[in-house]
């Protein structure tokens, strides 16, 4: 997302790259991830299982627009993390040709304004607060995931409840949040992107953290690539990624 970075440590010819969270597919709100040659690559593994293969982002956006077109008497309420994810979904909607106003929960307004100050065009954004219920029919409303099922959302006109997250691949997570329309849009690399990145960089050793280390470690070892798990105390899965 905008502002994220890798860390390159170099000492006496030894190069260590700490990747942070990353994805490999295009995002209209930020630059692409850049693989860096290194001896030790520290990678996340949030979606480090073969079951996690994210669909094309454009197809998920099309799914959302189709649902809205089929039920114009309803609105679409999209839960998206306030930093990065909400702005990405808005920008992807604009890329898909959606140029109508998008209404925002108050918790998203400042971060969207910050993105626009940084030069990321998000189009016509309006506060959802104070807009009459009838005027929101057929519209898209963005909110933090915590607002999907609270009192704030009850005034909306029969919303199609959606959520943008890589975890929407897991049906149980969607059901737990009462999500009618799961949108599998993630800012973390999926299984294919993780393995692609390690193959491209070809480090002497891969350290795996923040997720499912065992499967990715096994994948490395079956290809004669040295790897180990790097456990971080206190890190948990992030539901909104």
Percent of residues, the chain, with pLDDT higher than 70: 96
- Fold equal for 7-53+188-229 and 57-183: no
**In the prediction, which pLDDT does 239 show?**
53
**In the prediction, which pLDDT does 233 show?**
60
| DSSP β-bridge partners for residue 102 | 125, 140
Asked if pLDDT for residue 238 goes beyond 80, the answer is: no
Give me the residue spans of the domains in the chain. 7-53+188-229, 57-183
CATH code of 7-53+188-229, in short, is 3.60.15.10
Instruction: Find the mean pLDDT for residues 132-146.
Output: 97
How much is the CA Rg of the chain, to the nearest whole Å?
Answer: 19
Could you read off the pLDDT of 180-221 as tens digits, one per residue?
A: 999 999 999 999 999 999 999 999 999 999 888 999 999 999
Instruction: Give the predicted TM-score (pTM) of the model.
Output: 0.91
The architecture that CATH gives domain 57-183 is 3-Layer(aba) Sandwich (3.40)
**In the prediction, which pLDDT does 241 show?**
58
213-218: long-range contacts, CB 8 A cutoff, minimum separation 24: 213/45, 213/48, 215/45, 215/48, 215/49, 215/50, 216/43, 216/45, 216/48
Could you read off the pLDDT of 39-81 as tens digits, one per residue?
A: 999 999 999 999 999 999 999 999 999 999 999 999 999 999 9
Confidence at 36, pLDDT banded by 50, 70, 90: very high
**In the prediction, which pLDDT does 190 show?**
97
Could you read off the pLDDT of 1-33 as tens digits, one per residue?
A: 898 999 999 999 999 999 989 999 999 999 999
**In the prediction, which pLDDT does 230 show?**
87
Instruction: Find the mean pLDDT for residues 150-159.
Output: 93
Asked if pLDDT for residue 161 goes beyond 60, the answer is: yes
């Amino acid at each position: 997302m905008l502002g994220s970075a890798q860390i390159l440590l170099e000492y006496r010819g030894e190069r260590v790259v700490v990747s942070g969270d990353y994805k490999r597919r295009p995002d209209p709100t930020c630059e692409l991830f850049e693989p860096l040659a290194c001896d030790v690559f520290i990678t996340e593994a949030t979606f480090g299982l073969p079951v996690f293969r994210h669909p094309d982002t454009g197809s998920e956006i099309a799914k959302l627009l189709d649902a809205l077109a089929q039920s114009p008497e309803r609105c679409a309420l999209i839960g998206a993390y306030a930093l990065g994810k909400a702005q990405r979904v808005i920008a992807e909607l604009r890329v898909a040709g959606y140029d109508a106003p998008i209404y925002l929960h108050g918790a998203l307004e400042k971060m969207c304004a910050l993105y626009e100050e940084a030069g990321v065009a998000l189009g016509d954004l309006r506060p959802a607060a104070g807009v009459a219920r009838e005027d929101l029919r057929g519209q898209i409303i963005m909110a933090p995931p915590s607002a999907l099922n609270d009192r704030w959302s009850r005034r909306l006109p029969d919303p199609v409840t959606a959520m943008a997250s890589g975890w929407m691949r897991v049906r149980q997570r969607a059901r737990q949040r009462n999500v009618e329309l799961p949108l599998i849009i993630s800012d973390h690399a999926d299984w294919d992107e993780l393995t692609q990145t390690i193959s491209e960089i070809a480090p002497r050793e891969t350290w795996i953290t923040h997720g499912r280390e065992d499967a990715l470690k096994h994948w490395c070892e079956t290809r004669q690539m040295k790897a180990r798990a790097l456990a971080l105390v206190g890190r948990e899965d992030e539901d909104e990624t």
